[in-house]
Amino acid sequence: MAMFWSFLIPMLALSIPIVAIVTKHRQRIAEIAAQAAMQGHAVPPQLIAAQTERLRELEERVRVLERILTDERQSRDLAAQIENLR
């Protein structure tokens, strides 16, 4: 059981910044769209596509971290999974 907590605490510490980045990114997209709408301009499709792709990448990273947190694999797999995120 102690081994479980030794995985959970660091993974939770790593996932908090990623969730914050995703949240900030979504907020930024909403702000850009609101500013463009107030000025009567459309948001450029390239910007929307770029922001959407970045959001997908961040969400995928969060999903991997969540899976790592909830999975009870051995510690040797943990290092490989974290390295794959880079």
Q: Which of 64, 63, 57 is nearest to 82 (CA)?
A: 64
**Cβ pair 18, 65 in contact under 8 A:** yes
* Domains held by the chain: number: 1
Domain that holds residue 26: 2-85
pTM: 0.43
- How open is the CA angle 14-18-63, to the nearest 5 degrees? 90
pLDDT tens for the chain, 86 residues: list them: 667 777 778 777 878 888 888 888 888 888 888 887 778 776 777 888 888 898 899 888 888 877 777 766 555 676 677 777 77
